[in-house]
Amino acid sequence: MSDISFVRREMLPPKDPPASEVGVVGWIRANLFSGWLNSVLTIASLYFIIRVLMGLLGWAVVPTWSATSLTECRSIFEELGRHGHNAGACWGVISERWNQLLFGFYPRELQWRPVLDFLLLGVALAPVLFSDKVPAKLIYFTAIYPFVMPWLLWGGTIWTPVAVALGFVIAYAIFKMLAEKTSELIAMIASVVVALVWWLFLASLFSSALAAVIPLALEPVESRQFGGFMLSITIGVVAIGLSLPIGIVLALGRQSDLLIVKTLCVGFIEFIRGVPLITLLFVASTLLNIFMPPGTNFDIIMRVFIMVTLFASAYMAEVIRGGLAALPKGQYEGADSLGLNYWQAQRLIIMPQALKISIPGIVSTFIGVFKDTTLVSVIGLFDPLNLTNAIRADADWNGLVWELYGFIALLFFVFCFGMSRYSMYLERKLQTGHR
Amino acid sequence: MSILTDPPKESFRPSMLIYDTRYRSMTIQVIALIGFLILVGWLISNTAQNLAELGKEPSFGFLSEPAGYDINQRLLDYDNQNSHFRAALIGLLNTLLVAFLGCITATILGVIIGVLRLSSNWLIARLMTIYVEMFRNVPVLLWIVFIMAILIESLPAPRDFRGDTPEATMNVFDSVAVTNRGVYVPEPLFHNSLGNIHLFGDAAVRFDISLDLVAFLIVLGGSLFASTKIRIWADKTQEATGLRPTTWHMRSAVVILPSLLLLVLLGFHLGYPALKGFNFQGGIHMRNSLIALWLALSLYTAAFIAEIVRAGILAISKGQTEAASALGLRPKRIMNLVVLPQALRVIIPPLISNYLNLTKNSSLAIAVGYMDLTGTLMGITMNQTGRELETVMLGMLVYLTISLVISGFMNWYNNRVKLVER
């Protein structure tokens, strides 16, 4: 009577899941055909993708790279047996004019200068972007770069940027000297006044005198020869580079307890954010010369720089204000309890954290400004979009649309997508586990 | 026993303006104010001097002069003998029109795309990601001219609709004609029309109101009010008895029947566009410039709205849904009572700021020749009268007003739904 029932003593090994639930089949069932609605959607979108891809590839994959005019493209299509208005892409226009799309009317033999400039921009940004991989000394080059960049782009004597830089050195020296003897407030006011006097009255004398003695100059290039992606990138870089410090000041002003300062900052920010960029560009093209003393006539690119910078700094101020507001109150109180004064607290405690939080916003502002540089075509600057009109004005390429727009869209996409991916990487890298 | 006394009150010395933090803030503010006033004064004096040299005294008199140019897409009556002010008004209405249309379609598209991006269907989610990245990373101006080019290049010309075997045919039961000169849609017409009221006589802001539309809106409003009353009655009954009476058939009847009756009484019918001569006649003509701008702004903004919607949905933690279903709520009520109110708090503020961006971006209309405020006031009017200062300032002021109204609404909403914290 001992063994009336069978009791299993050892575990059975788990069975493999059914073949339809694992591997490729399982994945497809789970992700593409998990219900009738999903199946319909999948099939519809597959059909859509195939239609678009076939149309696009059929249009784009054509041997027209070396064609020199639209008529030549058309004859190539005739040989291929294709007819109609949009028989295929005429890539000849890109191969012939890509240089113009990138540099505008910048003299061909001087184009090494903008290229070098953007390479140097990479070097100057390296200490900021990849601080752990490059020597820290490189930050000095970053400080010099803002003065090297315009000199390389516009040419002219080297002494003008040197004189401008000297203004900063003088202001800093005076601030250091006076700050020890009197209060920081007096020192700051004095240094600002001295710097303004230097830039407005003495700097031009200084640079012309030195240029006469030691003529160190590059061949000058006129602003109206700027164009293409070079122009877009230049406007974008200048606007963001200048708007970051202005934006920090505005954000601090907006957060401060000083009523008048706060009102001024809020008024400026809300005004700029409330009007479209295009109206600001109208101001640049028609009004800015009226606002300046009679006889001043600075060129259109400089005016666009000013307005785009003001535009970007209002947005930057809001991004940084968001970062400041996101910091826990304890950080401010902690800095106060350590006995740090306002600027020390900002520099050592608040700003490093607030700027880190604002990185995604800063990058997306940059992307926005970079995209918005296409608006300068409305006031007649030759950015890539306006260059397409110039190219179409050529009888050889009259009537081309898709190839040019497609090329420009692709370049913009590569730039902007790259930047947004970089900002994600930076966010992950700077993540310290708490927010 | 010691007596606590206040420390002796220091008398005010000028050096305290710099060294005493109580007074230093005053000093800083006064300096900032003086600096600002000097800057403004300098700009104004420069401007006055320059304008005097050019012989252009600032004045807004040009606004009442005849404009002398035509506006082909307009909501109110206008001809080229009307004043510049009237032209600017037409432009402003065009701006508001495209902004309004754009906001609606961008929201619908954005919500659909944002939800689909979270879909469990791998292919759909990837497609939507591609859509979002494609539109977000290419300038909106490029999209506008691109879509304009598509409309002009690939749509049939009106003459293609001619003949016994036309190359192109009209869509939607022969009522909508999509051509490369624009889209023609049927217009509502009334046999027994009540006519129009003409407001403001001959003034520049004059406009007509269709009494048919007014009557329709009054009836619709009344029936919506009645429908709300029925809902309130149903709520009360539910609270009193625990049973909710079925009301959907009553409510839909109350909303639909009176409006239908009114339309029949007024003799409502549609005026179809028809090919006459070289072009279509009749119906409402939406020009390519409007369509291109509308489409481009909607598609572009929809990409941003999709991201906002996605973020809003992801921001609600799964615990909320699980807790709600643990309380015994059904999925639809979970969505309405738990998830949506919280998600909307995250979604609405950036959504409204995107509406604001769309409105501001509509100023790019100038690139495709749509006559909005930028095209009229800051475009042709400025070029004809040479009044740069006045036109640009006026245009900025109008845009600023629109923005401030929208952002004022946003702040009001934000304060209403804000979580109260320490």
Tokens of B169: 């045919």
Query: Which DSSP string corresponds to A26-80?
Result: HHHHHHT-SSHHHHHHHHHHHHHHHHHHHHHHHHH--S-TT--SHHHHHHHHHHH
Amino acid at position A296, single letter: T
pLDDT at B420: 61
Is residue B16 less than 8 Å (CB to CB) from chain A? no
Evaluate whether residue A410 is within a structural domain.
yes
Q: Is the pLDDT of residue B169 over 80?
A: no
Confidence of residue B421 (pLDDT cuts 50, 70, 90): low
- A282·B378 Cβ contact <8 A: yes
Interatomic CA distance for residues A164 and A195, integer angstroms: 9
Evaluate whether residue B302 is within a structural domain.
yes
Q: Does A201 share its domain with A290?
A: no
Q: Is the pLDDT of residue B2 over 70?
A: no
Bigger pLDDT: A429 vs A154: A154
Evaluate whether residue A241 is within a structural domain.
yes
pLDDT at A433: 58
Identify the residue whose tokens are 């149309």.
Answer: A55
Interatomic CA distance for residues A102 and B217, integer angstroms: 56
Evaluate whether residue A25 is within a structural domain.
no
Evaluate whether residue B226 is within a structural domain.
no
What mean pLDDT is predicted for residues B183-199?
81
Q: Does A263 share its domain with A305?
A: yes
Interatomic CA distance for residues B301 and B102, integer angstroms: 8
Q: Which H helix or E strand runs over A322?
A: helix A300-326
Q: How far is B370 from chain A (nearest CA, A)?
A: 14
Bigger pLDDT: A234 vs B272: A234
Tokens of A286: 């028609």
Q: From the CB of residue A249, how many other CB atoms can be counted at a distance below 10 Å?
A: 13
Burial B298-327 (b: 16+ CB within 10 A, else e): bbbbbbbbbbbbbebbeebeeeebeebeee
Evaluate whether residue A4 is within a structural domain.
no
What mean pLDDT is predicted for residues A181-198?
84
Query: Mean pLDDT score of chain A, rounded to an integer?
Result: 86
Q: What is the CATH number of the domain that holds B104?
A: 1.10.3720.10
Confidence of residue A282 (pLDDT cuts 50, 70, 90): very high
What mean pLDDT is predicted for residues B306-329?
90
Q: Does A173 share its domain with A286?
A: no
Euclidean distance between the first and the last CA atom of chain A, given in angstroms as a whole number: 70
Least CB–CB distance from B403: residue in A274, A374, A375: A274
pLDDT at A77: 84
Q: How many domains does chain A have?
A: 4
Please list the alpha-helical segments (H only) found in A198-227.
203-213
Bridge partners for B279 per DSSP: B276
Q: How many domains does chain B have?
A: 1
pLDDT at A176: 87
Evaluate whether residue B115 is within a structural domain.
yes
Length of chain B: 422
What mean pLDDT is predicted for residues B358-364?
93
Confidence of residue B194 (pLDDT cuts 50, 70, 90): confident
Evaluate whether residue A8 is within a structural domain.
no
Most confident of A141-150, A376-385, B92-101, B247-256: B92-101
Least CB–CB distance from B363: residue in A278, A290, A412: A278
Interatomic CA distance for residues B369 and B148, integer angstroms: 10
Q: Does A203 share its domain with A288?
A: no
Q: Does A62 share its domain with A198?
A: no
Q: Does A214 share its domain with A363?
A: no
Interatomic CA distance for residues A387 and A104, integer angstroms: 7
Q: Does A260 share its domain with A405?
A: yes
Quote the domain boundaries for residue A427.
226-435
Give the 3-state secondary structure of residue B274.
Answer: strand
What mean pLDDT is predicted for residues B283-300?
90
pLDDT at B104: 94
What mean pLDDT is predicted for residues B112-130?
89
Give percent of chain A with pLDDT exceeding 90. 23
Evaluate whether residue B31 is within a structural domain.
no
**Of A2-6, A127-131, B312-316, which gets the smallest average pLDDT?**
A2-6
**Of A228-237, B5-14, B38-47, B89-98, which gets the smallest average pLDDT?**
B5-14
pLDDT digits (tens, 9 = 90+) for B337-355: 888 888 888 888 889 889 9
- B138·A276 Cβ contact <8 A: no
Quote the domain boundaries for residue B400.
84-152+288-417
Evaluate whether residue A98 is within a structural domain.
no
Q: Does A268 share its domain with A381?
A: yes
Query: Mean pLDDT score of chain B, rounded to an integer?
Result: 85
DSSP at B14: T
Evaluate whether residue B23 is within a structural domain.
no
Residue of B42, B96, B39, B46 whose CA lies nearest to B389: B46
Give percent of chain A with pLDDT exceeding 70. 97
Least CB–CB distance from A294: residue in B28, B49, B124: B49
Residue of A194, A188, A193 whose CA lies nearest to A175: A188
Q: What is the CATH number of the domain that holds A239?
A: 1.10.3720.10
Give percent of chain B with pLDDT exceeding 70. 96
Among all residues of chain A, which has the CA nearest to that of B374? A279
Q: Is the pLDDT of residue A435 over 50?
A: no
Q: Does A230 share its domain with A263?
A: yes
Q: Does A263 share its domain with A122?
A: no
pLDDT digits (tens, 9 = 90+) for A68-91: 888 888 888 888 877 776 778 888
Interatomic CA distance for residues B140 and A370, integer angstroms: 12
- B153·A416 Cβ contact <8 A: no
pLDDT at A252: 92
Q: Does A179 share its domain with A286?
A: no
Give the 3-state secondary structure of residue B11.
Answer: coil
Is residue B137 less than 8 Å (CB to CB) from chain A? yes
Q: Is the pLDDT of residue B395 over 90?
A: yes
Is residue A49 less than 8 Å (CB to CB) from chain B? yes
Evaluate whether residue B391 is within a structural domain.
yes
Q: Which H helix or E strand runs over B33?
A: helix B21-54
- A275·B396 Cβ contact <8 A: yes
Judge whether B94 and B77 are in contact, CB under 8 Å. no
Q: In B, which residues are within 8 Å of A31 by CB distance? A: 120-123
Evaluate whether residue A132 is within a structural domain.
yes
